[in-house]
Amino acid sequence: MKPAKFDYVSPSTVEAAVAALVASNGEGKLLAGGQSLLPLLNFRMARPSILVDLNGIEGLSYIEDRDDRIAVGALTRHRDLEHSPLIASKLPVMSAAMRHVAHLAIRNRGTIGGSLSHADPAAELPMLATFYDATILVQGPSGRRTITPREFFVDALTNCLEPEEIVVEIEFPVLKQDGWAFEEVARRFGDFALASIAVSVLRGPSGLEAARVAVMGVADTPRRLDEAEAALVAMELDDRTPDRFSEVVVSQVSPNDDLHASAEYRKHLLGQLAKRALQTALAMKG
């Protein structure tokens, strides 16, 4: 299990990295934390002609407070997000989710840009980008552009980037919310999610003024559940609300069977997690 032969380059600027990708004619691969790429190389499932190592580029790892938005540099490690007081206070759902991201060794190396680009449908960061409706800033030969998560995640392990484009920053809006919850179930702690849900609520004069719901592990991409959000805002708040919400969430997904869980079991799990998450979110006081 050794990789096939490849060349290696370690540019010191994003421009140089883009130029290296252009020069590779679509045969190049970016190396950030390497937590998904290296196994693929060893299995020879990925056979790039050249690895463009981003780790030598300075200024791509940061967590920056922009008041109503938090900007995260693409090379920021999972461990930095997990332990950031800024993330904990402004993006509490992300903070809660980060401890579910794989294991310590992986969190030490893995990067947010790498995780989003890998686009695993059962990984936390793509789901969080979807939940927050983050702005993904990418750089290519003709400069920079921004992409929404809905455009970015095309399919399982597939993003919408052009071969010469590099994710450089992700900007997360700070949500107005009175309550939130993140729930996940995996076979073992740190494994890919069998099902997971993030919920945020903002109370209005009567009932909820706004709600936000995202799920993962139950489709080919992480998903915002617009119908469930609308339904939740329309619901009267009483003891039955979490059950009704759970039913709406389940009706919005159609997962596939796989080795670890049948579609019915995943739906059951998601329903249970939805109920629990909404109970937690509604129990919070502002």
Q: Of 13-72, which residues contact another protein (CB under 8 A)?
A: 42-43
Measured between alpha carbons, how far is residue 69 from residues 63, 179, 209 in Å? 11, 19, 21
Site string for another protein, 162-191 (x = CB under 8 A): -----------------------x-xxxxx
Interaction between residue 144 and another protein (CB under 8 A): no
Site string for another protein, 66-85 (x = CB under 8 A): --------------------
Six-digit token string for 104: 């310590």
Q: How far is the CB of 278 from another protein (least distance, A)?
A: 14
Q: Of 260-279, which residues contact another protein (CB under 8 A)?
A: 260-262, 264-265, 268-269, 272, 276
Instruction: Report the chain's C-alpha Rg in angstroms.
Output: 19
Interaction between residue 99 and another protein (CB under 8 A): no
- What is the distance between the alpha carbons of residues 11 and 13, in angstroms, rounded to a whole number? 6
Q: How far is the CB of 136 from another protein (least distance, A)?
A: 26
Interaction between residue 155 and another protein (CB under 8 A): no
Interaction between residue 105 and another protein (CB under 8 A): no
Contact 185, 193 (CB under 8 A): yes
Interaction between residue 161 and another protein (CB under 8 A): no
Compute how many other C-beta atoms are within 10 angstroms of the C-beta atom of residue 159.
20
What are the phi and psi torsion angles at 11 (to 5°)? -70, 160
Measured between alpha carbons, how far is residue 268 from residues 93, 94, 174, 182, 211 in Å? 23, 24, 31, 17, 22
Binding footprint of another protein on the chain (CB under 8 A): 1-5, 42-43, 185, 187-192, 194, 259-262, 264-265, 268-269, 272, 276
